[in-house]
Amino acid sequence: LIVCLISFFPFFLLLSGSVHSILLPTIQKLMKGYNRYLRPNFNEGPVEIGMSLDIASIDAISEINMDYTATIFLRQRWRDARLMFPGNESVSVDGRLVSLLWIPDTFIPDSKRSFLHDVTVENRLIRIFSNGTVLYALRITATIACNMDLTKYPMDRQVCTLQLESWGYNLQDVVFYWTRGNDSVKGLDTLRLAQYSVESYYTSVSEAVYETGNYPKLVLHFALRRNVLFFILETYVPSILLVVLSWVSFWISQSSVPARTCIGQELSESNGNGSIPIVSSSQPNQSVEIGSTAEDSTEQSANSDTKNHTGTKEKAPNQGCGLSSVRDASRKAASVFIVENPHNIDRYARTVFPTAFLFVNILYWLYYLFL
């Protein structure tokens, strides 16, 4: 029996509250009769829990996964009258003693993954003030969903939220509030992001309605605007330079077909017309006709149109006058595009080409910047 008692002695100690004996006298006294499974104000009104956030970083904003990863300091404070003690100061309690206290069951509903940092110890802090106020701070990294509208990419603006809800306590038990309204969130102003800048942010209080009841909810809204400069330097300027470069080809003589084709994109042997760009240089007149750069194709098609019409015109009288008059009209219309001197095409293109580019650009930038 004695052996039995001795072997169970540590157990008895534990059950009789040996944990309390390690604590400071103040906390030991506080913990006497404290039931951590009961919320403060039990059987009375709801506990008011004030929240504030420090955004330490927003690391990855992913368009593919539609989420962002943020590291935040979450501070929650509430008043637990059972923890009041006489005096004027506060006590900071070891983070491991969190398990002895009642704490709110706050969670982030949109988070896909999250973790509490635990190097070198779990990054949490508990401070108890003499008036019973408890401050509970955590450092969390969470990947949080954010629905993005990418129709205006890369000149888009995304509004993301960070929501905090109570998991189990509904509005009868727990009420959330931001401790300092819009100023409860710090760190967003000084945040440096690779592609975005934080345009604005504000906080709001709402409630989450589920089948099981209404739960307190706090929301931080923040708007991110993508930095276009990055894209201008990376994408737009090279593309514009490429277009400007292709413009130069209108100044190159038509007889030097290889030079003209070199400037455009790589031309395969079998392009739309089925003609081959390399032509014997001994027949410069022919090369104009066969020349298969993109700029010449309009002229060529105009020529072939008229050829077709003249070819079919011989058959036209057999098929009634109604059709032939249509053919005549279309032939007249086509004759407008017949160019006596092919060099004129280049001359027109020199102005039409940049004008068209400018026009498309104006439409493009108007739509993306102002609509």
Ligand X SMILES: *[C@@H]1O[C@H](CO)[C@@H](O)[C@H](O)[C@H]1NC(C)=O
Q: Where on the chain is the footprint of ligand X (CB under 6 A)?
A: 79, 88, 129, 131, 133, 181-182, 202
User: Helices marked H in the chain — which ranges?
Assistant: 2-15, 18-22, 25-31, 228-231, 237-247, 257-263, 284-290, 297-313, 321-335, 343-370
Nearer to ligand X, 126 or 140 (CB): 126
Q: At closest approach, how far in Å is the CB of 81 from ligand X?
A: 10
Nearer to ligand X, 10 or 181 (CB): 181
Could you tell me if 267 and 278 are in contact, meaning their C-beta atoms sit under 8 angstroms apart? no
**Pick from 211, 141, 214: which is nearest to 174 by CA?**
214
**How many alpha carbons fall within 13 Å on the CB side of residue 358?**
7
Please state, in angstroms and rounded to a whole number, the distance separating the CA atoms of residues 214 and 176.
12
Nearer to ligand X, 149 or 199 (CB): 199
Strand-pair category, 47-62 with 185-186: parallel
Nearer to ligand X, 179 or 275 (CB): 179
Q: At closest approach, how far in Å is the CB of 125 from ligand X?
A: 15
Nearer to ligand X, 207 or 305 (CB): 207
Could you tell me if 202 and 189 are in contact, meaning their C-beta atoms sit under 8 angstroms apart? no
Nearer to ligand X, 18 or 131 (CB): 131
Nearer to ligand X, 207 or 295 (CB): 207
Q: At closest approach, how far in Å is the CB of 119 from ligand X?
A: 30
Q: At closest approach, how far in Å is the CB of 132 from ligand X?
A: 7
Q: At closest approach, how far in Å is the CB of 76 from ligand X?
A: 14
Q: At closest approach, how far in Å is the CB of 92 from ligand X?
A: 13
Nearer to ligand X, 201 or 353 (CB): 201
Burial of 326 (0-12, 13-18, 19+ CB in 10 A): exposed
Cα dist from 201 to 61, 120, 144, 176, 224, whole Å: 17, 33, 17, 19, 9
Nearer to ligand X, 177 or 357 (CB): 177
Q: At closest approach, how far in Å is the CB of 144 from ligand X?
A: 21
Q: At closest approach, how far in Å is the CB of 27 from ligand X?
A: 17
Peptide linkage before 154 cis (omega within 30 of 0)? yes
Could you tell me if 339 and 295 are in contact, meaning their C-beta atoms sit under 8 angstroms apart? no
Q: At closest approach, how far in Å is the CB of 185 from ligand X?
A: 10
Q: At closest approach, how far in Å is the CB of 46 from ligand X?
A: 15
DSSP string, 207-241: EEEETTEEEEEEEEEEEEEE-HHHHIIIIIHHHHH
Strand positions, DSSP E, 65-182: 67-79, 90-93, 106-107, 111-116, 124-129, 133-145, 157-166, 174-178
Please state, in angstroms and rounded to a whole number, the distance separating the CA atoms of residues 64 and 332.
54
Nearer to ligand X, 111 or 158 (CB): 158
Number of Cβ within a 10 Å radius of residue 251: 8
DSSP 184: G
